[in-house]
Amino acid sequence: MHKKWWKILCVILLTYTVIGGFLFSVPAREILHETIRNLYFHVCMWFGMMILFTTSVVYSIKYLRSQNLRDDLYAVNFTKVGILFGILGYITGALWAKYTWTEFASDTEIFREPKLLGAAIALLIYFAYLVLRGSLTDIDKRARISAVYAIFAYAMLFPSIWILPRLLDSLHPGKEGNPALNFKDSDARLRMVFYPAIIGWTLLGVWITSLKIRLDLIKERSILND
């Protein structure tokens, strides 16, 4: 039972997130209005994505130091689930933009928005990671090259998602004249769901990853034992 406590916690937190996200009261914010509820999904999924990618790059570095294929297996599965969370975060973000920014820009302009473009570039870099792995047949060579590429891909997350979009004209919250979801613009009603949601989505990502790792360990048991 002691090994299952975090899974139980994950279910409780995500149930609380869904209930709170749809039923709890939220602050009235100009432009955002009721769409602010997407904070518990879009933003929290991206937090989970960053944690999963961070874990992946840690295991990639461990592989380069140890040459242990188990570390490579952990790295690739954390990356795959991180990509899944990135796709979900991108979709929820694009939908959020469509229903909140249409007052200021057309649909075409929205999808040229720096934040969305930067996120798309970051995800494409990680998609290339999967393509690269699939193109290599030698197990050790694939693991080494993938580990190096994973470090590069992780480094590119920061300029593409966090730095460059903030230097360019953007409709995204956080730019001057738009509501930024920080302590000044949020309140206790948002934070009481927001923080548990981050933990819940992250635990779900770890849970999915752990299942994928167990399957891969079974499939590649003979290789790993060597």
1-15 confidence digits (pLDDT tens): 457 899 999 999 999
94 falls within a domain: yes
168 falls within a domain: yes
Least Cα distance to 120 among 129, 112, 109 occurs for: 112
pLDDT at 7: 93
Question: pLDDT tens digit string along 176-198?
Answer: 444 445 545 567 788 899 999 99
Token pair for residue 50? 């960053």
Q: Which residue has the tokens 């518990």?
A: 40
139 falls within a domain: yes
Please, what is the Cα angle at 85 between 21 and 58, to 5 degrees? 125
pLDDT at 135: 92
3 falls within a domain: no
Full-model pTM? 0.88
138 falls within a domain: yes
CB-based burial label for 203 (10 Å; 0-12, 13-18, 19+) = buried
10 falls within a domain: no
134 falls within a domain: yes
- Of 142-146, 213-217, 218-222, which gets the smallest average pLDDT? 218-222
Q: How many domains does the chain have?
A: 1
- Domain, as residue range, for 77: 41-186+208-225
63 falls within a domain: yes
